[in-house]
Structure 1
Amino acid sequence: MRFIDIEDYNPITMQLAMPIYDRMRRVLLTAGRTIHPNYLERIKAIGVSTLVVEDAESTGITLEEMLDMPTWMDTIAVVQQAFEDASNKKRLHIIALQRAVATLIKEVFAHKTIILVPTTSLSTGLVMYAHSVNVALLSLQIAKHLGYTQGQLRDLALGALLHDIGKAVTDQEEEHPLKGFDIIKENREMSLLSAHIAYQHHEWINGQGYPRKLKGQAVLDLPQVVGIANVYDHLLSNNKMPPHEALEYIMTKSDEEFSFKVVQAFVNSVPSYIPGTKVELHTGEQAIVSKINQNLQRPVIRFLTNGEEMDLAENPSVVIKRVLNNNQEDGK
C-alpha cells in the first residue's frame, strides 16, 4: 500500500487500496478494484490528485499508523456540520464534536505516530474539513511529547478541529481567526482556550503573524502547536512537499515563528519518510520504505532489487539521498 500521484496510476499494475469519495462523502470506487480510464478522468475532475494503491512493490506495506478511513470520514462529517451551522448562525453540535475529540485522542495515543491521509485524496469540496481533521490529529501527536493534561488535550483537539471555522462566515484570510474566536466563544460549553487556538493559530512569536501581531510569550503554546500542524498539512497537500522537506522547512522556523520547545516536539512526532515512499540511497540503490519502528527518522527499507529489508536505525552509515517519483525509477 502506498500513496501515489493520480498521474502515476497504472491500471495494469495497481489497484485501489482505499475507497474514493465524492463531495457528499459517498463511495465512488471501492478498494480492491482498478480504475477505468473514463472513471480516472471523472475522479480528476472532482479534484482528487492522490490515490492509495497496492502494487507488487508495496505488497505487505500496511500504513498501519494512518487513521482508518471510516473514522476519518466520520470526523470530517462532524467538522463539515459545524461549518454549516456556523454559516447559518446556528449553535454548534457540541456533543458530536466532543465525541469526535474523544475518538481522535484515543486513536493518537494508540499509535506511536500518525500518518496523515492526504487531503488531496478527496473531492475539493471536502478538503477544508479534512484539513481540519488532519491538523487535529497532528496537534495531538505533538501534544504527546509536551505532557499535556487530558483537559488540555480536549481543548487542543477541539480548537484544532475548529481552527478555521471563521472561514464559514468570511472569505477574508486575515479576518477568519477573529471570526473563529467569536463563534467558539459563543458556545459556552467550549473552553476559552479552544477559542484562543482559532484566534492565534496564525500568530508568530516574532510578531509578524496575524491578526494581532502578538509577540513572544503572548502567543500561547497550544495555538503554536496547531499553527505548526496547519503549516505542515498545507505543505504536504497544497505544495505537494515530501514529508522530510516539510519537516526541515518547519525546523527553520524555530525561535522565529514558533518556539523551540514546540518545534522540537513536532520533530519528535512525525516521520521523515512514510511507508510506501520510494527512495534512492547514497549508494545509488533504490528501495521502498516498508515500516516505521521506534526511530521515526530512520525507517525500515526494502530493496527493490531483491526484496531484502534493512532497518536504517541499525545502519547509521546508510543514508537516503532523495525521494523518487515513478518517472525517476531505474534511472528513467
Structure 2
Amino acid sequence: MRRISVQNLKPGMVVARAIFSSDGRILLHSGIILSNRYIKRLGDLEIDSIYIRDKIFGYVEHRDIVADETRHNTIRMVRENFNKLDKNHNLDTRAVKGTVDNIVDELLINRNILFSLSDIRAFDDYTFAHSVNVCILSILTGITMGYHRTQLNELGIGALLHDIGKIRISLNVLNKPGELTRNEFSEIKQHPEFGFKILREYHDLSLLSSHVAYQHHERWDGQGYPRNLAGEKILEYARIVAVADVYDALLANRPYRPPYSINQGINILKRMSGIYLDPACVTALVANIAVYPIGTVVELNTGDTGIVIDTNREHPTRPIVKVVFNFRGQRIAHEHEVDLSKLKTVMIVKTL
C-alpha cells in the first residue's frame, strides 16, 4: 500500500483504504478498481491523494494513531454541532466531551506511534477534518509536555472547537480562492472573539477551553490578534493549538495553493518558532510527526529505492525501509529491510 497523488492515478489501480465524506459516508470502498470516472470524481472533490494497493512494493501494514471509526465519528460530530449552532440550536457539549475523552484514550494507548496525516479529505470537509487533526496534534503535544488527564481533555475540547467562531463568518469569505480584501480579512479576524463568546455560554465547558478559541491567533511576538498578547501572556493551551493549526493547514490542499510536504511543513514551523509560535510547543509537536509515514516510497543515498514499513519514534527522520530496487533500478531478488536509525551513513534523499 502506498499513497499516490490523484493526478498520477491510472485506471486499473486498486483503492487500498476507504475514502470517507465528512458525514461518515464511504465515497470509495477499499478494493474498488479505479476507472476514469472514479478518478475524475476524486478530482472534482479536490481530493489530493489516496492510498492504492501496490504489487511491486507489496502489503505494508499501516497503524493509525486514532482509529478510522473514531476519526470519522468525530468529524461527523463536529459538522453536526457547527450546523446546530448555525441554526441557533445548542452545542451538544456531552457529545463533545465524550468524543475528546475517546481520542485521549486512544492517544494514550498508542503514544509510541508517530502521527501520520493519513486522512483523505474532500475540499468541502476542510473545516471539520482540520478541527479533528488539530485536536489530535494538540493532545499529542500535551502528552509530550507532561499534561495530566484533565489538562488533556481541556486542551482537546478547546482544540476541537477552536474555529467554532467561523460559523459567524460568510462562507464566501471563508472559501474565497483568491487574496482577501482588507475588509474580508477584518471579518475573518473576528472569529476568535465570536468563538469565545459562543463557548463561554456553556458553563459545563472549562473557560480555559473557551480561551483557546479566543487566543489561537495570538503570536509569540505579540503581533497576532485579537488582543496582541505576547509570549507567556498567551494561554499555553492556545500556544499549542496555534502550532497544530498552522501545521495541519500547511499540509492541506487549499483553493489558493497545493499542500506542502511534511518536510516543508516542519521546516516552516521551525522558521516560525520564536516569532509566530512558542518554540517549546513547536519542539513538542514535531517530536510526534512521522516525517516519512508508513507507505512512503523513498530513494536512499545509496541509489536504492524502497518503501517505509515502520517509523522510529526516537529518530523520526530515520525509519525502517524495505529495499525493493537497487541503484540501477533493477528489482532486487531478495528484498531486505534497512533500519536507518542504526546506519549512520545511509539516509533518505527524496520521496517518490
TM-score normalised per structure 1: 0.91
Structure 2 residue 214 is matched with structure 1 residue 196: no
- In structure 2, the residue matched to 1:16 is 15
* AA at the equivalent of 2:320: V
Of all paired residues, the percent bearing the same amino acid is 32
Secondary structure, counterpart of 1:17 in structure 2: coil
Secondary structure, counterpart of 2:288 in structure 1: coil
Secondary structure, counterpart of 1:43 in structure 2: helix
1:304 CA drift (Å): 2.5
In structure 2, distance between residues paired with 1:57 and 1:188: 56
In structure 1, distance between residues paired with 2:122 and 2:231: 39
In structure 1, distance between residues paired with 2:23 and 2:231: 42
Structure 2 residue 326 is matched with structure 1 residue 312: no
> Once structures 1 and 2 are overlaid, which stretch shifts more, 61-70 or 172-181?
61-70
2:228 is matched with which residue: 213, 218, 225?
A: 213
1:24 CA drift (Å): 4.5
- In structure 1, the residue matched to 2:277 is 258
In structure 2, distance between residues paired with 1:60 and 1:30: 17
> Once structures 1 and 2 are overlaid, which stretch shifts more, 296-305 or 221-230?
296-305
* AA at the equivalent of 1:297: T
- In structure 1, the residue matched to 2:116 is 115
- In structure 1, the residue matched to 2:197 is 182
In structure 2, distance between residues paired with 1:213 and 1:311: 46
Secondary structure, counterpart of 2:145 in structure 1: coil
- In structure 1, the residue matched to 2:246 is 231
- In structure 2, the residue matched to 1:105 is 104
What's the CA shift string for 1:27-76, capped at 9, x where partnerless? 23211121221122123212222212221244232220343322211100
- In structure 2, the residue matched to 1:271 is 290
**RMSD between aligned alpha carbons?**
1.7
* AA at the equivalent of 1:250: L
Secondary structure, counterpart of 1:225 in structure 2: helix
1:23 CA drift (Å): 5.6
In structure 2, distance between residues paired with 1:226 and 1:207: 16
2:267 is matched with which residue: 248, 258, 275?
A: 248
Structure 1's 99 and 58: CA in aligned 2 closer, same or farther, altered over 3 A?
A: farther
* AA at the equivalent of 1:2: R
- In structure 2, the residue matched to 1:51 is 50
In structure 2, distance between residues paired with 1:145 and 1:218: 22
- In structure 2, the residue matched to 1:301 is 321
1:25 CA drift (Å): 3.3
Contact persistence 1:11–1:36 (CA under 8 A): yes
Contact persistence 2:217–2:242 (CA under 8 A): yes
Contact persistence 2:312–2:320 (CA under 8 A): yes
In structure 1, distance between residues paired with 2:22 and 2:155: 27
- In structure 1, the residue matched to 2:160 is 161
In structure 2, distance between residues paired with 1:155 and 1:8: 42
Q: Tell me, which stretches of 5 or more residues in structure 1 are unaligned?
A: 325-332
In structure 1, distance between residues paired with 2:243 and 2:66: 20
Secondary structure, counterpart of 2:211 in structure 1: helix
Query: How many equivalent residue pairs?
Result: 321
TM-score normalised per structure 2: 0.86
In structure 1, distance between residues paired with 2:100 and 2:22: 23
Contact persistence 1:181–1:196 (CA under 8 A): yes
What's the CA shift string for 1:62-117, capped at 9, x where partnerless? 22034332221110011011211221222210111111101110111122222223
Secondary structure, counterpart of 1:287 in structure 2: strand
Q: Tell me, which stretches of 5 or more residues in structure 2 are unaligned?
A: 171-186, 326-331
- In structure 2, the residue matched to 1:87 is 86
Runs of 4+ more than 6 Å apart: none
Contact persistence 1:117–1:134 (CA under 8 A): no
In structure 2, distance between residues paired with 1:221 and 1:72: 25
* AA at the equivalent of 2:37: N
1:10 CA drift (Å): 2.9
1:135 CA drift (Å): 0.6
Contact persistence 2:309–2:320 (CA under 8 A): yes
Contact persistence 1:184–1:195 (CA under 8 A): yes
